[in-house]
Structure 1
Amino acid sequence: MRRTKWGGLAERGFEASGFFRVDQRDGIHWLVDPDGGLFLSKGVNNVRFDPDNIRNTDKVPYAQACLDKYGSRNNWRAAAANRLVSWNFNTIGCWSDEVVAGAGDTPLAMTPIVDLGASFWLHRRQRFPDVFDDEFESHIRQRAKELCTPRRNAPQLLGTFIDNELYWSPDWRGNDELLTTFLNFPPRRPGRVTAITALQQHYRDFEQFNAVWCTPARSWDALHMLGQIEAPFTRLAPGARYNTEESWANKLDRRREAFAADCDAFAAVVADRYFELCVGAIKAADPNHMVLGARFGALPHDGVLAAAARHLDVISFNCYHADPTPLIEAYATTGKPCIITEFSFRGDDVGLPNSMGGGPRVPTQTERAACFRSYATAAVSHPNVVGYHWFEHADQPREGRFDGEDCNYGTVTIEDEVYPELTGAMTEVNADAERLHGQGAAIASAAQA
């Protein structure tokens, strides 16, 4: 197969535009590289000389090992880039050193993250950015201008991620809804005022609202000043059990059904404003490249997905399940192309604790390689999936990184020794990915017939 310099398939390609974009053919989604090649983003996250400090120290064991091995950061960059290409990767994923993209003999696409919402959220010390705050829009436009404008003419930029794993709905981190999150912002904050106003517009009077929510307040004015507004019910995280069990619970309790409707409606409004403003900020600074989404950490509710689909070029999500198929199907309902932006498998045979972090643990590196093969094959065989990014380039420190993770996630050890079983599987699947993806056209056509 003849390939472009970016690694895309040159035969039966699309028109060259000089930048990466998305297109469809015969019911199947593709990325299109700057030269018009059919492209799937096969990437690795956190490709950098200094990926992880040992927790609570300034020691970076991978960097020291690579300095001893290569003599300089630039020598490592060239070696790392060429090694990734030898494994048939074509992209450096999130948190990577962007210089690596052009350091080797073959260019790699790059996918930076600009943390628009997270940077405002951290500034305001809130669980989710207050998208109704007037300062939110000015903040993200300035940040996008600073981070995206310098890359606007870069052909190697695949696209930009807005954020990573914002909290959209109940998941492994807690049971809060976006509505209760906003209701518990400090009094007079725009997000809290907007949330209460939305409820006030929905319910005829306060008594009708309080029949569902059961707050200690006795008026809308009192609700505005209440210190804590508790959710009257707890919902499951969206997923396989959600529709059946939540539907049944709501049929049994109309108050619960009303609460769920309140939460879903408000989440959809928040998501629409978030994606509209963030995509607008990035496109204003860089109209030439795609916006690749916010790397969903867990499946959000339908209204959030619908909002994402209205504004994004590609929907991105992280999936640490052994089989990505159910989650792919859930995101594919939007009709948009999707990228899996984190997945991994951890082997227990290399002496790392694997005590924290996502992804299945398996006994050996041989099984780790087999899991990659099965997962990646399933992913690219779906007509909506236009890429996958492995987490991550090098193993984490045995002592734990900043948050305590201490896992065998790497394509290489912390001494920069290659895992041959895993990278061998990666080399083979990456080389065959476009053929596997092309078969999705037949599946899509059969389904439409």
Structure 2
Amino acid sequence: MSSFSSYGGDEKQKFHSTGYFRIEQTNERWWLVDPEGNAFVTIGVNHADETNLKYDHNFDIWKKKYGSRENWIKGLSKDLKDWGFNTIGWTGDYISGDWGVALDWFGDPINLGHSASWSAADYKHADMPYCLQIRVDAFEDWNGQPTYPDVFSHEFDMYCEYLARSICADHSESKNLIGYFLVDIPAWIRHASGRDFKVLQDLNEEERASKLFEVANKYYETITKHIRKYDPNHLILGDRYNGNKGIPEEVLTAMKPYVDVLSVQYFTSPNQEGYQQMKEDLGKWQKITGKPVILADIGNWCQTCMNPNRVSEIKDQSGRAEDYINSLNAVLNEPWFLGWHWCAHLENKARGWGIKDPYDEPYKDFIDPVEVYNKNVYKNLYQKA
């Protein structure tokens, strides 16, 4: 087992230190490098937020076990480190007001919104590596009422500057910040609602594809110049693309000069064919961009007591652990692979799966094998190299 740095990096694989997370490319592969100069594979957890412990069925657990957000965050940090995770990933989570439905598959959830973003003080309490979102605009593919900016307007430029300034102000000198994500699964492919960027409306598919590069190029150029103005120290991780739906080549080509990392969400089928498809898709997009890759969201699920309709080919929590290991082994040794962020922390009414059950107890049949895998990730990587 490797000797871990205070950030979760591998102290046996050294580079020069800069005091911030950065990227290094060797003859063998791309690496994230932690502020102390150690090789770092980001092993993160997404959707970690105390709102998942403030439903009617578990609010008393939050009060008795934690009683404050600071205590909950410190407990979360301890859990993640104990399980071999070293990064707090995407923290936002959907909040559903009803019982027994799962957002993506069943019923019509009562939408109570999304949890608020973590503050700079929250991340200081956690005291571990993290990623931030700069939500450029609300044109997510999951968003039923998307809004698209006029990326060529003066107003968009002014807004991006304000957004970067307001967010980067509290984080630009953080040693724990890895970098900034932008929009979560943005609808670069035409949205199901029919909404689109104004300059792309009423175009046929060929015309739209031709114009899309110009739109994406202006979008990335504008937001990234302002991020780098107010924070030259950290990485720009880019949009969290929806790998299962596909990513337009025009968008990938446009982002190439401006973004440091290709960030992709990918929920693979739990079999060898699915793992291979994920590997091929990520490799194809990586070749277009020339960027190292983070699996920004990957997860799996099975039937549970709270979510009996949430079924898949995976039958139980042990099967989930096996799929976790097999899916990541498929890409662990790819020279462009920087790590993964797992979906998600605690099972709730909407998403319907997690590392912990709805009553804040770990699914041990899942987390025990996962912990062993996480803590041996550097050893396994070097053995396969």
Matches within 5 A, 1:361-380: 362-380=314-332
Matches within 5 A, 1:84-95: 84-95=80-91
1:149 is displaced (CA, Å) by: 1.7
One-letter code aligned to 2:345: H
The separation in 2 between residues aligned to 1:64 and 1:377, in whole angstroms, is 39
1:63 is displaced (CA, Å) by: 4.8
Q: Which residue of 2 aligns with 1:3?
A: 4
Match of 1:395 among 336, 343, 347: 347
Matches within 5 A, 1:251-290: 259-260=205-206, 262-290=207-235
One-letter code aligned to 2:217: D
1:327 is displaced (CA, Å) by: 2.5
Matches within 5 A, 1:190-205: 192=199
TM-score, length-scaled by structure 1: 0.71
Whether 1:350 aligns to 2:297 is no
The separation in 2 between residues aligned to 1:302 and 1:338, in whole angstroms, is 16
Whether 1:118 aligns to 2:72 is no
Matches within 5 A, 1:86-235: 86-95=82-91, 97=118, 99=121, 101-103=123-125, 107-118=127-138, 127-170=147-190, 174=192, 181-182=196-197, 185=198, 192=199, 229=202, 231=204
Across the aligned residues of Structure 1 and Structure 2, the Cα RMSD in angstroms comes to 2.6
SS of structure 2 residue aligned to 1:35: coil
Q: Which residue of 1 aligns with 2:45?
A: 44
Q: Which residue of 1 aligns with 2:253?
A: 306
Structure 1 gaps, min length 5: 54-58, 186-191, 196-227, 232-258, 398-404, 443-449
SS of structure 1 residue aligned to 2:43: strand
One-letter code aligned to 2:189: S
Q: Which residue of 2 aligns with 1:24?
A: 25
CA radius of gyration, larger in: 1
The separation in 1 between residues aligned to 2:67 and 2:146, in whole angstroms, is 43
Whether 1:325 aligns to 2:325 is no
- Deviation string 1:289-318 (CA, Å, 9 cap, x unpaired) is 011111012421212111222211111111
Q: Which residue of 2 aligns with 1:68?
A: 64
- Deviation string 1:403-447 (CA, Å, 9 cap, x unpaired) is xx3412x1111210111122112212212222344467x4xxxxx
1:175 is displaced (CA, Å) by: 8.9
1:100 is displaced (CA, Å) by: 5.5
The separation in 2 between residues aligned to 1:12 and 1:152, in whole angstroms, is 26
1:95 is displaced (CA, Å) by: 1.8
* Residues 50 and 62 in structure 1, CA contact (< 8 A), matched pair in contact too: no
One-letter code aligned to 1:7: G
* Residues 353 and 407 in structure 1, CA contact (< 8 A), matched pair in contact too: no
One-letter code aligned to 2:125: A
- Deviation string 1:320-364 (CA, Å, 9 cap, x unpaired) is 123231332122212211111111111114341455xxx955221
Percent identity between the two aligned chains? 25
Q: Which residue of 2 aligns with 1:384?
A: 336
Q: Which residue of 2 aligns with 1:446?
A: none
Runs of 4+ more than 6 Å apart: none
The separation in 1 between residues aligned to 2:376 and 2:193, in whole angstroms, is 41
Mark the CA change 1:406 to 1:338 in structure 2 (over 3 Å): closer, same or farther. Answer: closer
1:70 is displaced (CA, Å) by: 2.9
- Deviation string 1:121-160 (CA, Å, 9 cap, x unpaired) is 9xxx754322122211111110110011211100000111
SS of structure 2 residue aligned to 1:18: coil
One-letter code aligned to 1:143: L
* Residues 45 and 92 in structure 1, CA contact (< 8 A), matched pair in contact too: yes
Mark the CA change 1:95 to 1:63 in structure 2 (over 3 Å): closer, same or farther. Answer: farther
SS of structure 2 residue aligned to 1:306: helix
One-letter code aligned to 2:79: R
The separation in 2 between residues aligned to 1:83 and 1:100, in whole angstroms, is 16
One-letter code aligned to 1:302: E
1:75 is displaced (CA, Å) by: 2.3
The separation in 2 between residues aligned to 1:350 and 1:174, in whole angstroms, is 32
Mark the CA change 1:39 to 1:362 in structure 2 (over 3 Å): closer, same or farther. Answer: same
* Residues 92 and 108 in structure 1, CA contact (< 8 A), matched pair in contact too: yes
One-letter code aligned to 1:18: G
Structure 2 gaps, min length 5: 93-117, 270-274
* Residues 153 and 288 in structure 1, CA contact (< 8 A), matched pair in contact too: yes
How many residues get paired?
345
Mark the CA change 1:72 to 1:127 in structure 2 (over 3 Å): closer, same or farther. Answer: closer
